[in-house]
Structure 1
Amino acid sequence: MAKQSAVKLQTQNKTMYSILFIIGLTHLLNDSLQAVIPAMFPILERSLGLTFTQLGFITFTLNMVASVMQPVVGMYTDRRPMPYALPLGLLSSMFGMLGLAFAPNLPTILISVVLIGLGSAVFHPEGSRVAYLAAGNKRGLAQSIYQVGGNSGQALAPIITALVLVPMGQFGAIWFVLVAFIASMFLVYISRWYAGQIEVVKKATKKEKKSTETKQKQKLPKVIRNAVILLVFVVFVRSLYHSAISNYYAFYAIQNYGVSIAESQTFIFVFLLTGAIGTFIGGPLADRFGKKAVIMGSLLAPVPLTIILPYVGPLVALILIGIIGTLILSSFSVAVVYGQEMVPGKVGTMSGLIVGLAFGMGAVGSVFFGSLIDWIGLNPTMIIVSFLPLLGLLTVMLPSDEKLREINRELGHAGYVSE
């Protein structure tokens, strides 16, 4: 019994940095595959004559598959973890990239992005669980390492456009078949470690299983249920803004600043790169000032900057978009940890809801904003987008960190909540 307790304590408190860096790297590779799709928009718009509405529907299809499936995968794997689903998910993405490189029309592109979306839906909840298992007592840092990998992968989109897709066109996507294969090889190693951790935890907690299951079946208090809904909505709003800038600001820069396709990607690269930096620093800031404070600040602090962004010149816009990217994504990993602490023991489900459903549902905005651009024009649409972060005022209604700890202590979940 003493030996088992020691194993459990070690499993919970030791931070496995090697595992965190590898899962962060594979997150980068996985999300770079997804980044290829919006990066191809200027290419597809010219080569296949697609409208902004059709481009929005491509993003909608990708993210809806990934976002709807992620909570489903998360709920299933909370009960039955699937370590070896990780490399299988990347193989699905690999076939999707292969199809994308040769797709002659919109239906074929949509089939390809469905395969990529399925791969992402499997990867993200299980990848988040790996980060959770490897975190020890540094959950905020662990989630930041994992999430910054994904945001860095997204930040590669402009580089992909400028260095690969502009000179090679749509066929340039073929290079990312190799990227998917490399990622799947890394994930085979991660899956072996993951499977071993599951066995260790099972043996160490066998006698506590019945008690834990009883706690997990407790009905969530109303304040927690409402907070989860509000958190998902707030992340959705942040995703709407992120999606609009990532997918359409390049067109805005081309139209208003007279830059080329390759030059327009500088704005997107700065936005996504600074977003990755913000994601990394958000964890330590949350440890010092609280998770709710960081979530609230990440949406409200950039409001003045987002509102004036459509009215400035290219140099000022580049500076503003970098600051906005840093601020607005500083709560990316923080929101995941905050959600996991709302519902302890449901790591996959909360990761699926926040990273998958809430963030992925921003794809709805891609269709809406794409249609709005076709209807009223690019400039009026970007002005409307600039006011979205004001909805961050709703974060004042989220429970404080201390309130969450108090509720979980009352429910007997204190052991799951980081102090």
Structure 2
Amino acid sequence: MIVGEPFESSLLGPERPLLPKLAVHLLEDEPGTLDVTLTIPLDPNEPDERAAIEQFAPEDRTLDVRYLARINLAAEREELSRRFAETYRKHPIRKHLTAPELGQVPDELLRDAFTPIAAQGHSVFQRLFEPPDERGALLSHGEDDDPLVRRALASALARPHRVVLKSPLSLFPWAMLYDDARIDENDLSTFDARRFWGFRHVLQEEIPGAAMAVRLPQAPRVVAAVCPEVDAADEHRQGPLGKLAEARPDGVSWLGSAEALRRELANFDGDCLYFYGHAVQADPPTPTTSYLRLDGINLTAYAIRKDGGPNFKRRPVLAFLNGCETKPLHVWDESSIAGLLCLRGGGRVCAVTTFAEVPVAFGRRFGQLFWERFLGGDNVGVSLQRARAAMLEQYQNPLGLLYALLGRAETRLG
């Protein structure tokens, strides 16, 4: 295990009560400056937070904080994407991340590859969630309140939360934020993978088109489009989805071709859509270059829309797009598969996506872990976070950070 105290996110044990909600609202004030509003749940057992409750929030125990953050989020997104792509393609860790069979990632390679990414993740975290240290920086409070607000904010951010991110700006790889100030990119011993936000918090991005309903049937119908090219051994049929199909033959519909998925999306009468296979989208995406690949055939966003899809009969629908780069970071419109499903889906879709390339073996195992948790009763946010944690715990592999939730973390069965 990586440096630090014992793995304490408790993601591998029984589900805790729903984590407290930390709302983050970002608006662009001017180029290079964000208007940040936080709604923070306070804990009366923490001295600074108790003082803030008494001073500002005796009834609801939440603190609203607003300030301007000097950061170019688009530039940071580009740099994080570039750093990860360089690591994935050129670093010696690549052969371990992309091996046809999963194995332990060597600690020294993990530190060498991901310490620079963690350092940038902390730089973004620091500028977004630590108000500028200057007079009048807090727009929500007077100067006399400033010290207490800052202490309460720092205290609250040290705990796990259900972080709800709202912004009209382009999407961002929020799981890559890193909150440990001890990180030093020139000292690999300061790296602790568990301090990435994706392992510490349940993250959700509330975006246009995402479902607001959160309850799926206790006995769902899952449409599983699993490409035989990347699951030749039929591992998915032997995993949680296969067990569901054995228990309820009508619980899973297996699709093995792009044409079958195309027809299904034109009249989708299921509760969950699962895709596992190769996926591609241009940057920025276009309808003819964004596609899911099944059995050697590409199903483009253009083809889905041309057939009148997507047409969802139920609400909500959980769509897990387990392929490469299914989350568009730069443009949120109908040109990507995820954007098409959400924006033309009538507010019915909660989507699990990826923002970079996902190795075949990793994606296959991650999908199994996710479905084991979700079908076992965890909500989608916890299922996603626990799958990330399990891959880190079992293989010392942090690539679960590539997965992102577009919709509400509370989405669950029953």
> Which range, TM-score by smaller chain?
under 0.3
Q: Which has the higher contact order (CA 8 A, sep 6+)?
A: 1
Q: TM-score, normalised by structure 1?
A: 0.27
Q: Which has the higher helix share?
A: 1
